[in-house]
Structure 1
Amino acid sequence: MNHQDHINDLHKKLDLLLKKQEAFSKEVAELQNELKLLKAYEKQQPVEKKTLVEEPTFKDTISTNAENRKGLFRDTYHRGLGGVCSGLGNYFGMNRYVVRFLWILLSLFFGLGFFLYIILWMAVPKSKTTSHNPIKEPIKIPAQKPLKISNELEKFIGENLINKIGIAILIIGIAIGAKYSIENDLISPLTRIILGYLLGLGLLGLSIKLKATYENFSAVLVSGSMAIFYFLTYAAYSYYELIPQLITFALMVIFTVFTVIAALQYNKQIIAHIGLVGAYAVPFLLSDNSGNTYVLFSYMAIINTGILVLAFKKYWKPLYYVSFVLTWLIYVSWFVFSYIKTDDFTTALTFASIFFILFYITFLVYKLIKKESFETLDIILLLTNSFVFYGLGFVILNDHETGHQLLGLFTLCNAMLHFIVSVVIFKLKLADKNLYYLIAGLVLVFITMAIPVQLDGHWVTLLWVGEAALLFWIGRTKQVPIYEYLSYPLMALATLSLYQDWTHIYIDYYLFDGSEKITPLLNSHFFNTVLFIAGFGFIHYLQNHNVYKTAILSKKKWSKWLSIVVSAIIISTVYFGFFFEIRHYFNSLYQESILTINQYERYSNGDILNFKTIWLLIYSMVFVSALSMINIKRIKNKFLGHLNLGLNGLVVLAFLFSGLYMLSELRESYLNEIPSKYYQISSFHIIIRYISFVFLAITLLVSYKYLQASFIKLTHKTLFGVLLQITAIWILSSELINLMDLSGSIQSHKLGLSISWGLYALFLIVLGIWKKKKYLRIGAIALFSLTLIKLFFYDIVHLETLSKTVVFVSLGILLLIISFLYNKFKNSISDDVED
């Protein structure tokens, strides 16, 4: 079997080498053909060698793809800011400095230049700069005086710029003359409108006549005539009321259709833009504040359809971008300032849907029929169209009495629409996989959004964690990175949702009337937590399984951190899941313990809250001890080991500070007779103390085992020794006080503590000398110093004479013994070797 595998491997390598040889052969043939073409080109150039200076041109030796390819592109090489003006100059054959000058004028006088520039900057793709290095023959040319500048600039000004400036001045002149005639009442309104139409018809007729010989000039005249028709129709309707609204509307549509036809005939995108801007301006110009928004949006839908068909037919994508921006700007402006939910609900929702579907279809047509490559701008357009529509629809429905109940269905309908599109693309293989993944991602996004919109409570958490696990499974097993990426935010949402559920469910029970009682562990809330852990456990399994490698290239470090984060979520969820159940159980008991004796007396069993703290600390010690043993025996992870040791230390300190105090409160309650009249007091108030000591010892023991584990690699273990000794003296002191209280020797606390601290300091000195641990001896000296400070500044004031004598003599003897030990073992002490 191994021999056959080796043969198969050799065949595969041989096939790979043959494919490479074939590719190299093709490349050599292409280079040979290119070389032949260049040699043929050289033979055709002898006449040009005699030319002193080549034909002057304003093009640089470095040009952009915008100059070499059809279509509108931003010229990033000659850019002043974003390359928009340079790109327009390349597209229309104009000098870029002239375009910039005109754009500055447009910004200064009309305020539109800035916004149009931003829109075009986002909408128009940038060109890829390519360097042209023509093959030049070494021609020796005698020095000549520089020739005069070519006639190209003059030609550009005469043939392109002057006619555009002229038509603009003509329109301004007509407007000034109309204004003058209106102010002085020289001619009647009807005559003004008729004369204006005649002038527009004259320009149109002249443009038709000149089209054959002067096409560029003719195109400018057509644009001017259409602009005159638009604004004259607006004036006739708005100022003089000579034309009814319906006829005005029809005329505007006719003008727009004619402008589109003219753009097609002349093959000039600028004419289509004039028609588009004029068409979108008309609804506002014709507005009489009658609230007839249905006619307004119907008109816009018709205009959009025509313009988008034109944009597709001629591949004029800037028309699509401008139409997209203007449509949604007009709609949102109307919605913000004029929408009345009682009157416009149906109209608003209907036309938002029409505009969304219209632009969605146009987007898909470009991708599926024109076979465009998938770019960043496509993501922006698709997401903007989808979420603008969804946001508007959500607000419209949310403000409606009936619509408020349909928000989840509306969200699912969005998901279903994208799902149908993604299925069609996948089944028919109409586009590249990136487009499919983006639309499929939108399906998942809207399904995810539908969950909290329609559902409440823990169902949201379950569905989110289930969806995250499913996406992560698809991403890993099918090697599709986009699904793995989509699972990450869902993991975060599910985790936040679970924590939010906990805050609502496990809030302190005694703040409420106690009407809701939850059975510990056997309730839907805890079951929700268990399913959450199962979902993330499945993700963790896939993340760490050798078979399912991530498809995200060069992301080893990211994969490592993902494993850490998922593990942290699982561990914290397991801990807090049981923690809140225990906490809630004792809060429930406390709520039930409240007794009302009379109008002025009310009792509650505070011991329950003390027991709650103790059991939570015991549970925490059990949890960190179990986690320690699992890591030591099975996982053996260094990072988890360091984190676990830190948690162990925090739990021990929490017990010393809080747990011992609660145990003393339980002891006081046991010795106090007042609570026993209403609540049962038992010896368990004392026994719980020693139960907790057992689990404290287990926690310290597993921490010690961590120090012995080879994978932890701790070089300094002094901190654990210090913590152990602090814990020991703290527990001994607490137990001494506990025994004295139980025996009734309350007055001997101070004496007993001072002597016990001195004895423990002696024990540390002996242990430090025996084990050659310097930190133990220093700790003993510090403890003895603390004991002496307590003796002179506290004990001496409150103790009786006999007690003072006992404590002074005892401590003095202890100090002498310590000094003797230091002198006896001074050589051994000097040879200490610390950890």
Structure 2
Amino acid sequence: HLPPPVRPPRSRSNVEKFIGENLIATIGIAILVIGVAIGAKYAIDHDLISPLTRIVLGYAAGLALFGFAVRLKVKYPNFSAVLLSGAMAILYFITFAAYSFYDLIPQTLTFGLMAFFTVFTALAALNYNKQVIVLIGLVGAYGVPFLLSDGSGNYAFLFTYMAIVNAGILVIAFRKNWKVAFYSAFGLTWLIFLSWFNLEYEAARHFTLAMTFAAVFFIEFYLTFLGYKLLQKEQFNFGDIASLLLNSFVFYGMGYAILSGQKQGEELLGLFTLANAVVHFIVSAVIYRGKLADRNLFYLVSGLVLVFLTLTFPVQLDGNWVTLIWAAEAALLFWIGRSRKVPVYEKMSYPLMFLAFFSLVQDWMTFYPQYQYQPDIEVAAKAITPFWNVQFLTGLLVAGAFFFIRWQDSPSSFSLQRAGKIGRIEESDRIQSDSSVPQFLDSSKPDWLRSIMQIAIPTMLLLTLYFTGQVEVTAWFDRLYWGSAVMSPPDAYDYSYPIYNNDFLQYKIVWMLNYTMGFLAILSFVNLGWIRSRILAAANLVVNLLTILSFLVGGLYALSLLRESYLTPSQSEYFSAGSWNLYIRYASLAFLAGLLFATWRYIRDRELIGVQLRIPFELLLHLAVLWVASSEWIHWMDIADPGQSYKLGLSILWGVYALLLIVLGIWRRKGYLRISAIALFGVTLLKLFLYDIAHLSTIGKTIIFVSLGVLLLVISFLYNKYKNTIFDEA
């Protein structure tokens, strides 16, 4: 029997050291300051001491605390640093009180004292080598202009002061590698600037001021960031990525907003975007030629160059830059994550992909409806040019970003040699583990998030490609419809209203279906010969089936309405219908044939689809052929105007097709075709007795009964003649 292992006692020295030396002292100094404030308030409320005495006692308390801090610095540096921080906080507050509450000292002297306290606090932080002290000075420094503001609105002085303070704080943060100070200065600066822009900015007065200091702050933080990476040779981390991207895009967003507020500035948006690209290009060139830093920094800065170059042209045309930024940034981060095997970059790109996609959807929902349902004839006449507008270009660029991401995610998906790779990820495509990355970001382990994204990325790519064209088709016919308006003659009440050519509504339905069938056929052939994805094949087949049925039900009906408009125009006094109303059906039938052929190619490829679907497809094919043939019969009978005789011909057509199915079923030994033929004959007979017989003349009834009777006899004869072949089928 072995004794249980003795566990070593858990080490508590570090926690206890932190609590005893730092936390308790910090809490104590905070409570002390609160106690002094309460006592001072009591004395003030009861007029126990004069205002001058209050200020003198406040300075005395601060200096006394400072003296204790200096005295204890050698033996107790941590405790001394806390005391010094409290002393500087008291001196800041007392100086502000003397100026603001009691008017005991002028503004100039107050500013000088606070500036001195800020410089002294920074020097003390360097001497103590304690970041907490410089943070006290940072808060005090940024508080000075607001505490001493007289409402004069001298924002140039404010931003100059902030730039100088930033320079000092950033130099200290760089020398001591105090990242918290850097992030604090970064956050406070942009927060103050953005607040001023939202609350006080006036384009006529502040345009130059805003652009100048936005650039100054951007350059300050950019140079500091580069200093950390180039001079101190730091490795990348999440905070570095976030700060660089945030600094770049906050500056770009501010500059865009400032320029957009000026009529002349709107014309410079493209140039401003290009200037951003040039700045990042210069930085990337310096890094590359000098081999100065981690290659990841070069990739990230180079990616920013590509982002802003991509944005330059569409930004100059329109304001879809938000969607493009997200798409470009997602592609950039995904590329860096995969090419440099840094999983955190890839994970950061995932939410940006969804943001880009849904931002594009929002653009579609706001851009196109303004040209739909537009009763204003003048507005309709000025509608967009389909396939030649900034929204279409935006859709193509976003689709390009998703295509690039998909290519990076699975390069083998775009190889013609994909046998054996369907539905799985090659080990060579996996990102290697990085021990410095948290487990949930390590993509070398099984990852449900990556599995989801491997479906989500191609889905967003295909939806973007499809709807980028589909909304343009819709916009084209909406433009034609609303642009066709003519005013009706005044009625009895002298009221006139616009009348529109309703044929364009049917054309829109037909061409949306044509576009969809063409898109799906091309997608099918691409997957069959190039991508070889089982998931895509399954989804493609389902959508193909739904689209074919939609055309047979809705598309053929819309085509029949176009025919009726040509033969019996209800708007002839306003519009004329051309022969294209009759012949457009053959363009649609060509698209249908292409989609049926693509679906047939899928059915033949058992390796790709994995199941036997020949029988369902053959039944679908015969249904489509019979449906189209019936539509063609009605189409030409309607043109020939034979009265009700088309019903006679339709029943005979169905009977002949049923006979054809019987012949094929016997010849090919396909029992399902023969059963389908019998079912079709049953439907034909029901139609004959329940519908046709009530509308046909005696001659018509004679013809149809004789014809169907003959067909039935022929079918029976075939069954008898080939009964051995039929009933001996396995």
TM-score between the two structures when normalised by the length of structure 2: 0.70
CA contact (8 A) 2:214 2:254 kept: yes
Once residues 537 and 180 of structure 1 are traced to their aligned partners in structure 2, the CA distance between those partners, rounded to angstroms, is: 66
Q: Aligned residue for 2:686?
A: 789
Q: Aligned residue for 1:259?
A: 121
CA contact (8 A) 1:509 1:587 kept: no
Q: Does residue 308 of the first structure (1) align with residue 165 of the second (2)?
A: no
Deviations 1:757-793 (A, max 9, x none): 3443344334334433222222223222222332333
Partner AA of 1:797 in structure 2: A
Q: Which runs of 5+ in 1 are unaligned?
A: 1-58, 68-85, 103-160
In the TM superposition, residue 232 of structure 1 has moved relative to its aligned partner by 2.0
Once residues 721 and 80 of structure 2 are traced to their aligned partners in structure 1, the CA distance between those partners, rounded to angstroms, is: 117
Which of 356, 360, 363 pairs up with 2:225? 363
> After alignment, is 508-517 or 237-246 more displaced?
508-517
Q: Report the identity percentage.
A: 47
> After alignment, is 511-520 or 313-322 more displaced?
511-520
In the TM superposition, residue 603 of structure 1 has moved relative to its aligned partner by 9.9
Q: Aligned residue for 2:619?
A: 722
In the TM superposition, residue 585 of structure 1 has moved relative to its aligned partner by 9.8
Q: Equivalences for 1:7-406 in 2 at 5 Å?
A: 61=10, 93-95=18-20, 99=23, 161=25, 171-172=33-34, 174-205=36-67, 207-208=69-70, 211=73, 219=81, 221-339=83-201, 341=203, 343-400=205-262, 402-406=264-268
CA contact (8 A) 2:518 2:595 kept: yes
CA contact (8 A) 1:356 1:389 kept: yes
TM-score between the two structures when normalised by the length of structure 1: 0.63
CA contact (8 A) 1:536 1:566 kept: no
Which of 418, 423, 432 pairs up with 2:280? 418
Alignment CA distance shift 1:736-1:480 (3 Å): same
In the TM superposition, residue 719 of structure 1 has moved relative to its aligned partner by 2.0
> After alignment, is 684-693 or 180-189 more displaced?
684-693
Partner AA of 1:429 in structure 2: K
Once residues 807 and 203 of structure 1 are traced to their aligned partners in structure 2, the CA distance between those partners, rounded to angstroms, is: 114
CA contact (8 A) 2:114 2:141 kept: yes
Partner AA of 2:172 in structure 1: L
Q: Equivalences for 1:662-701 in 2 at 5 Å?
A: none
Q: Aligned residue for 1:776?
A: 673
In the TM superposition, residue 565 of structure 1 has moved relative to its aligned partner by 7.0
Partner AA of 2:241 in structure 1: I
Alignment CA distance shift 1:625-1:558 (3 Å): closer
Which of 298, 310, 321 pairs up with 1:436? 298
Q: Does residue 745 of the first structure (1) align with residue 642 of the second (2)?
A: yes
Deviations 1:387-435 (A, max 9, x none): 3333344334433555454444444443333333332222222221122
- Larger relative contact order (C-alpha < 8 A, sep ≥ 6)? 2
Which of 624, 632, 651 pairs up with 1:754? 651
CA contact (8 A) 1:765 1:776 kept: yes
Q: Aligned residue for 2:422?
A: none
Once residues 327 and 82 of structure 2 are traced to their aligned partners in structure 1, the CA distance between those partners, rounded to angstroms, is: 61
Once residues 563 and 626 of structure 1 are traced to their aligned partners in structure 2, the CA distance between those partners, rounded to angstroms, is: 19
In the TM superposition, residue 738 of structure 1 has moved relative to its aligned partner by 4.9
CA contact (8 A) 1:595 1:603 kept: yes
CA contact (8 A) 1:594 1:604 kept: yes
Question: The residue matched to 2:644 in structure 1 has which SS?
Answer: helix
In the TM superposition, residue 203 of structure 1 has moved relative to its aligned partner by 4.4
Alignment CA distance shift 1:450-1:743 (3 Å): closer
Once residues 580 and 130 of structure 2 are traced to their aligned partners in structure 1, the CA distance between those partners, rounded to angstroms, is: 94
Once residues 42 and 580 of structure 2 are traced to their aligned partners in structure 1, the CA distance between those partners, rounded to angstroms, is: 104
Partner AA of 2:626 in structure 1: I
Once residues 316 and 519 of structure 1 are traced to their aligned partners in structure 2, the CA distance between those partners, rounded to angstroms, is: 55
In the TM superposition, residue 246 of structure 1 has moved relative to its aligned partner by 0.9
Question: The residue matched to 1:370 in structure 2 has which SS?
Answer: coil
Once residues 126 and 401 of structure 2 are traced to their aligned partners in structure 1, the CA distance between those partners, rounded to angstroms, is: 59
Once residues 34 and 394 of structure 2 are traced to their aligned partners in structure 1, the CA distance between those partners, rounded to angstroms, is: 73
Q: Which structure has the larger Rg?
A: 1
Once residues 478 and 76 of structure 2 are traced to their aligned partners in structure 1, the CA distance between those partners, rounded to angstroms, is: 93
> After alignment, is 549-558 or 787-796 more displaced?
549-558
Alignment CA distance shift 1:426-1:496 (3 Å): farther
Once residues 585 and 176 of structure 1 are traced to their aligned partners in structure 2, the CA distance between those partners, rounded to angstroms, is: 75
Partner AA of 1:726 in structure 2: L
Alignment CA distance shift 1:289-1:670 (3 Å): closer
CA contact (8 A) 1:506 1:580 kept: no
In the TM superposition, residue 249 of structure 1 has moved relative to its aligned partner by 0.5
Deviations 1:607-656 (A, max 9, x none): 89878987887898788778878888x65957587777667756755654
Once residues 309 and 357 of structure 1 are traced to their aligned partners in structure 2, the CA distance between those partners, rounded to angstroms, is: 14
Partner AA of 2:624 in structure 1: T
Once residues 317 and 60 of structure 2 are traced to their aligned partners in structure 1, the CA distance between those partners, rounded to angstroms, is: 65
Question: The residue matched to 1:94 in structure 2 has which SS?
Answer: helix
Deviations 1:95-150 (A, max 9, x none): 49x93xx6xxxxxxxxxxxxxxxxxxxxxxxxxxxxxxxxxxxxxxxxxxxxxxxx
Q: Which runs of 5+ in 2 are unaligned?
A: 1-7, 418-425, 433-442, 444-449
In the TM superposition, residue 315 of structure 1 has moved relative to its aligned partner by 3.5
In the TM superposition, residue 683 of structure 1 has moved relative to its aligned partner by 8.5
Alignment CA distance shift 1:646-1:316 (3 Å): closer
Once residues 554 and 257 of structure 2 are traced to their aligned partners in structure 1, the CA distance between those partners, rounded to angstroms, is: 51
Alignment CA distance shift 1:599-1:339 (3 Å): closer
Partner AA of 2:19 in structure 1: M
Question: The residue matched to 2:19 in structure 1 has which SS?
Answer: coil
Alignment CA distance shift 1:520-1:318 (3 Å): closer
Q: Aligned residue for 2:446?
A: none
CA contact (8 A) 1:508 1:587 kept: no
Once residues 457 and 87 of structure 2 are traced to their aligned partners in structure 1, the CA distance between those partners, rounded to angstroms, is: 68
In the TM superposition, residue 586 of structure 1 has moved relative to its aligned partner by 12
In the TM superposition, residue 248 of structure 1 has moved relative to its aligned partner by 0.4
CA contact (8 A) 2:118 2:141 kept: yes
Partner AA of 2:107 in structure 1: Q
CA contact (8 A) 1:465 1:532 kept: no
Q: Equivalences for 1:293-692 in 2 at 5 Å?
A: 293-339=155-201, 341=203, 343-400=205-262, 402-456=264-318, 544=414, 553=431, 580=473, 637=532, 653=549, 656-657=552-553, 660-661=556-557
Q: State the aligned residue count.
A: 678
Partner AA of 2:687 in structure 1: K
Once residues 398 and 644 of structure 1 are traced to their aligned partners in structure 2, the CA distance between those partners, rounded to angstroms, is: 44
Question: The residue matched to 1:386 in structure 2 has which SS?
Answer: helix
In the TM superposition, residue 288 of structure 1 has moved relative to its aligned partner by 3.6
CA contact (8 A) 1:480 1:551 kept: no
CA contact (8 A) 1:360 1:382 kept: yes
Question: The residue matched to 2:55 in structure 1 has which SS?
Answer: helix
Question: The residue matched to 1:775 in structure 2 has which SS?
Answer: helix
Once residues 339 and 587 of structure 1 are traced to their aligned partners in structure 2, the CA distance between those partners, rounded to angstroms, is: 40
Once residues 638 and 219 of structure 1 are traced to their aligned partners in structure 2, the CA distance between those partners, rounded to angstroms, is: 64
CA contact (8 A) 1:419 1:440 kept: yes
Alignment CA distance shift 1:667-1:475 (3 Å): same
CA contact (8 A) 1:415 1:444 kept: yes
In the TM superposition, residue 230 of structure 1 has moved relative to its aligned partner by 1.9
